[in-house]
Amino acid sequence: MRVLVVEDDEDLRVAVSAGLRSAALAVDSAADIAAADEALFVNSYDCVVFDRMLPDGDSVGYVRTRRREGWAVPVLFLTARDTLADRVEGFEHGGDDYLVKPFAVAELTARVLSLCRRAGTGRPPVLRYDDVELDTGRREVRRAGVLLTLTAKEFSVLEYLMSRAEHVVSRSELIEHCWDSAADPMSNVVDVTIKRLRTKLRRPELVHAVRGQGYRLVRTAG
């Protein structure tokens, strides 16, 4: 899952991005509405975290305009404005959640994960395929009941493959959903991550390569 963080305070932007990445999310960031608009034009996101007061305006106005155009990506507003009127305004103009500063990054991460799952067309919190169980809330993966130790990126790739079970997922699609804008689409990062994931999932093989197309999950025999 991929998230955009729009925050002009660099220290806070870095801290929030790091917290979200630790939860296996791909994260892009922007410091103002103009940069956010450009990122949203180029990329697809599962959630956007907007600071309300940005150098080029109140992000509520931007979100309100985009909602009128049919834009449906979940939005969480961050703000130091904590009156009831401010919170109501955020919700009335397209916000899905509202968090007042100062806040715990762990709480923000939990809220963003919830919004991302909501955006995933009702994707259940626990995904199951063959003998693999992936719990998006606990960030745990088990195969045949055995807990596996995956990196955040391996978890993210497996989650996306399980959400598209038995469909072929291209390398570019994995890059788009599991990596941020710093990833080089011409590199072998996907293949390296898949190789490590296969090793940790152990045999029988679950993740299969489809020549010239990408990867897909295939149920094991029996």
pLDDT of residue 197: 93
pLDDT of residue 51: 93
Q: Which residues pair with 134 in a beta bridge?
A: 127, 141
Phi-psi region of 180 (alpha: psi -120 to 50; beta: other; left: phi over 0): beta
Q: Which domain holds residue 144?
A: 126-217
Domain CATH number, residue 167: 1.10.10.10
pLDDT of residue 136: 80
Does one domain contain both 138 and 205? yes
Does one domain contain both 81 and 134? no
Domain CATH number, residue 105: 3.40.50.2300
Does one domain contain both 143 and 160? yes
Q: Which of 92, 119, 146 is the last residue of a domain?
A: 119
CB contact set of 167 (below 8 Å; sequence gap of 6+): 216
CB contact set of 61 (below 8 Å; sequence gap of 6+): 93
Does 95 map to a domain?
A: yes
Name the DSSP class of 169: B
Does one domain contain both 211 and 131? yes
Q: Which of 119, 142, 160 is the last residue of a domain?
A: 119
Rounded Cα distance between 143 and 86, Å, is: 46
Does one domain contain both 110 and 131? no
pLDDT in single tens digits along all 222 residues of the chain: 789 999 999 999 999 999 998 888 889 999 999 999 999 988 888 899 999 999 999 999 999 999 888 888 899 999 887 777 777 787 788 888 999 888 999 999 999 988 887 765 455 678 899 999 998 877 889 999 999 999 888 998 998 899 888 889 998 888 888 887 666 666 788 899 999 999 999 889 999 999 888 999 988 865
pLDDT of residue 182: 67
Q: Which of 104, 119, 134 is the last residue of a domain?
A: 119
Look at the chain and report how many structural domains it folds into.
2
Lateral strand order in the sheet of 2-6: 26-30, 2-6, 47-51, 75-79, 97-100
Does 18 map to a domain?
A: yes
Does 222 map to a domain?
A: no
Does one domain contain both 48 and 87? yes
Does one domain contain both 92 and 198? no
